[in-house]
A and B are shown apart, each in its own frame.
Chain A
């Protein structure tokens, strides 16, 4: 048995002349929660649909739980999918949808499913045409978690959920990881990724530009110092280690890596009223990858 939940080698997908995914090598370990980040059009959904065998790679290979993704009958017994835009048969009721997906999947924990329906506050006697986007999302989430599949692949799973339901979702993720299930989730919501994920991969224009632990990524992108000062501060951009300087109402915000000693030396002549330091948030890291270098999607 392979100890990787997902492995891709040189995974590439072209749509006509558009390169949607370019030579992606990715490994997701069993039991981890892996966040897949990237702006719109970076190739997140394309990757997920390739892993599901819904679309075929132009080049490269992909395996889930050691099984080639083309062998859907084997692979899909052990994985469950939540699409980004859940579309259901309008005439089927929620319960009928859940039953159909359980049958197609091949396994279901019905007790857990009943519990999840309760927790997500889903009225399964309604026909799918009466469901809002959030409710359709809940049907897919309940079906996926209730399958107890070893690998859960989710495309922006909380889009359309209200904050209470988002909390419920996070509890479900925690329960799933406790059972040793692996989660691969694409997201825009950096708070959510920070909360849930151990490692993240960052995708940009179809290329995987970084794979790292959330902690390491933050460390790599250093520390943020907010300096409040009564009088004018010297130009800090030239100080070694400082990567960005931004004005705030009370002073400046400085992003930096390495030792803070040169910065403190530069500030020694000024009257500093307050100095706060924190690690860079994932959002700042994320913007560092996309914002600073222009439009990441292009």
Chain B
């Protein structure tokens, strides 16, 4: 017989296994791609101009020394890798802690001969394991590309500990509030605030001390490959340990099912948007829009504000041109190009939104909430139709918010960006998110279990292909697999109408098949 803790640990592994491997794989791939890009242009290039540019520093981080491929890759990759690792860890921790508790699973776990601190500790240990896996994959990727041991160890360890640390934040917010969505939102805000702090710290050297206030800055202060200072690892580990202790203490002091922060379970009824399938969908979308919209607005505003300075440095230096080509950032030579690039990047977030909508819908279905809804006089087609049109409108709203953010950010920093450019750039990216909506609806109707992973692969994987294809010299047909590849960089280039229509047509076709499938299939 295994001990209860071991059984619970094995159960927990199943919940974080897939996510850990995906995050580890994406991180490893990103590093390999960045090193390949560097190797193609050959070392020894002069990056002094780039290193001094405040906008690029804010976007990517402090370039300690770009003279070696290690120093370059640590600069190029750290912001992206740290961000996806932190976001995943925060979301996964709130799912494992608060999400499972909200669904009543913790009642079952703790009915076993297992104390609450021990149950919580076992789950925290899962994320130490996840951090270790990611650290090892990062290490392996760096070593395989021929980077030296000490820097690789530091960078891998740093990334792994960032994961553990932000899992700690997710675990704490899960203790604080009794709903997963709220806990996940708080964890997301924590990531956002620390990331913005890192951006501010990196803009100029005079604010460099700010780096010590954010875990993302600690990762930079490791100076992997360019000085190798191990002390920030202790900071990361210490902070993670402190959050773990706080989690266990808070978990012990509260009632299961409740949060440390008491929320009332009574509420005035608001019946306005409960008038059937459409109203109910609008009600749900409007709540989601508050979170997604405000996050994207802030992000777009910051990116827009960086527009002026990023493009300042870029003259027609052919070496720089080649270099940016390899990074998939050719357009950085003008403000409009920069805006096109940022709009394309942010469109990935818009593309992820419908996946989260369908994911929530599938949770409702699995938990049996749709049984009562579908016992009303509402056809499947109407129910799914309400979801699809409301999601499409919400996506358009997100695009408009991004455009508004980029434009006002550009205005605030005097980047000389017109409203037409900002809105044109953003709206031109919409066909890909809409195609993702079509794909996720198709699979939701035909093969529900595949919907979320496959659509995510298209939305995120497609972007990575677009970004790194050039560095690996991938053939055209591979590049063509990415839907992002077919769109033009508006406003630098004119709108690629044929591609736009094809993508939209595919989206509609996929969606239509999804409706037929949903009409015919069994509810779970």
Interfacial residues, chain A to chain B (CB-CB below 8 A): 49, 52-56, 72-74, 76-77, 79-81, 83, 85-93, 95-96, 99-101, 103-106, 124-127, 129-130, 140, 143
Contact with A along B361-387 (1 / 0, CB 8 A): 000100111011111111110000000
Contact residue among B266, B268, B280, B523 (Cβ-Cβ distance under 8 Å from A55):
B523
Could you say which residues of chain B place their CB within 8 Å of the CB of A126? 265-266
| Contact in complex: A96, B367 (CB < 8 Å) | no
Contact with A along B484-508 (1 / 0, CB 8 A): 0000000000000000000000000
Interfacial residues, chain B to chain A (CB-CB below 8 A): 102, 178-179, 265-271, 274-277, 279-280, 364, 367-369, 371-380, 520-523
Contact residue among A74, A83, A85, A96 (Cβ-Cβ distance under 8 Å from B270):
A96
Contact residue among B274, B368, B376, B521 (Cβ-Cβ distance under 8 Å from A87):
B368
Supply 28 A–B pairs (Cβ within 8 Å), ascending by A.
A49-B523, A52-B374, A54-B371, A56-B520, A72-B374, A72-B380, A76-B375, A76-B377, A77-B377, A79-B375, A87-B372, A88-B372, A93-B267, A95-B269, A96-B274, A99-B274, A100-B280, A101-B372, A101-B376, A103-B274, A104-B373, A105-B375, A105-B376, A105-B377, A126-B266, A127-B267, A129-B178, A129-B265
| Contact in complex: B267, A104 (CB < 8 Å) | no
Of all chain B residues, which has the CB nearest A13? B522
**Minimum Cβ distance to chain B for residue A56 (Å):** 6
| Contact in complex: B522, A55 (CB < 8 Å) | yes
Could you say which residues of chain A place their CB within 8 Å of the CB of B367? 87
| Contact in complex: A81, B377 (CB < 8 Å) | no
| Contact in complex: A96, B521 (CB < 8 Å) | no
| Contact in complex: A127, B276 (CB < 8 Å) | no
| Contact in complex: B274, A54 (CB < 8 Å) | no
Could you say which residues of chain A place their CB within 8 Å of the CB of B268? 125
**Minimum Cβ distance to chain A for residue B28 (Å):** 37
Of all chain A residues, which has the CB nearest B265? A130
A74 to B376, CA, bound (A): 10
Could you say which residues of chain B place their CB within 8 Å of the CB of A53? 374
Could you say which residues of chain A place their CB within 8 Å of the CB of B102? 90, 129
Q: Known contacts A90-B102, A96-B271; decide if A73 and B521 are in contact (CB<8 Å).
A: no
Of all chain A residues, which has the CB nearest B370? A54
| Contact in complex: B371, A87 (CB < 8 Å) | yes
Could you say which residues of chain A place their CB within 8 Å of the CB of B523? 49, 54-55
**Minimum Cβ distance to chain A for residue B439 (Å):** 24
| Contact in complex: B379, A73 (CB < 8 Å) | yes
Of all chain B residues, which has the CB nearest A153? B375
**Minimum Cβ distance to chain B for residue A2 (Å):** 19
Q: Known contacts A56-B520, A104-B377; decide if A83 and B274 are in contact (CB<8 Å).
A: no
A86 to B375, CA, bound (A): 12
Could you say which residues of chain B place their CB within 8 Å of the CB of A83? 368, 371-372, 375
**Minimum Cβ distance to chain B for residue A37 (Å):** 22
A79 to B102, CA, bound (A): 32
Contact residue among A91, A104, A129 (Cβ-Cβ distance under 8 Å from B376):
A104
A18 to B194, CA, bound (A): 53
A72 to B373, CA, bound (A): 12
Could you say which residues of chain A place their CB within 8 Å of the CB of B368? 83, 85-87
Q: Known contacts A55-B523, A56-B522; decide if A80 and B269 are in contact (CB<8 Å).
A: no
A55 to B178, CA, bound (A): 34
| Contact in complex: B376, A54 (CB < 8 Å) | no
A143 to B279, CA, bound (A): 19
Could you say which residues of chain B place their CB within 8 Å of the CB of A106? 376-377
Could you say which residues of chain B place their CB within 8 Å of the CB of A130? 265
Contact residue among A54, A76, A88, A125 (Cβ-Cβ distance under 8 Å from B369):
A88
A96 to B270, CA, bound (A): 7
**Minimum Cβ distance to chain A for residue B173 (Å):** 18
6 closest A-B pairs (Cβ-Cβ)? A104-B376, A81-B375, A130-B265, A55-B522, A87-B368, A95-B269
Given contacts A54-B375, A90-B102, 7 further A-B contacts (CB under 8 A): A49-B371, A52-B371, A54-B522, A56-B522, A87-B367, A96-B271, A129-B265
Could you say which residues of chain B place their CB within 8 Å of the CB of A81? 371-372, 375
A81 to B372, CA, bound (A): 7
Of all chain A residues, which has the CB nearest B369? A87
Of all chain B residues, which has the CB nearest A52? B375
Could you say which residues of chain B place their CB within 8 Å of the CB of A143? 372
Could you say which residues of chain B place their CB within 8 Å of the CB of A124? 269
Of all chain B residues, which has the CB nearest A107? B377
Could you say which residues of chain B place their CB within 8 Å of the CB of A77? 377
| Contact in complex: B269, A54 (CB < 8 Å) | no
Of all chain B residues, which has the CB nearest A15? B522
**Minimum Cβ distance to chain B for residue A149 (Å):** 10
Of all chain A residues, which has the CB nearest B267? A93
Could you say which residues of chain A place their CB within 8 Å of the CB of B374? 52-54, 72
A76 to B374, CA, bound (A): 9
Could you say which residues of chain A place their CB within 8 Å of the CB of B179? 90-91, 129
A99 to B267, CA, bound (A): 14
Which of B279, B280, B376, B522 has the most C-beta atoms of chain A within 10 angstroms of its own C-beta?
Answer: B376
Q: Known contacts A55-B522, A81-B375; decide if A93 and B269 are in contact (CB<8 Å).
A: yes
Of all chain A residues, which has the CB nearest B378? A104
A92 to B102, CA, bound (A): 15
A90 to B102, CA, bound (A): 9
**Minimum Cβ distance to chain A for residue B242 (Å):** 31
Contact residue among A72, A99, A140 (Cβ-Cβ distance under 8 Å from B271):
A99
Could you say which residues of chain A place their CB within 8 Å of the CB of B375? 52, 54, 76, 79-81, 83, 105
A85 to B367, CA, bound (A): 9
Could you say which residues of chain B place their CB within 8 Å of the CB of A105? 375-377
**Minimum Cβ distance to chain A for residue B273 (Å):** 10
Could you say which residues of chain B place their CB within 8 Å of the CB of A129? 102, 178-179, 265
A91 to B266, CA, bound (A): 10
Could you say which residues of chain A place their CB within 8 Å of the CB of B271? 95-96, 99
**Minimum Cβ distance to chain B for residue A184 (Å):** 13
A83 to B372, CA, bound (A): 7
Could you say which residues of chain A place their CB within 8 Å of the CB of B178? 129
| Contact in complex: B276, A104 (CB < 8 Å) | yes
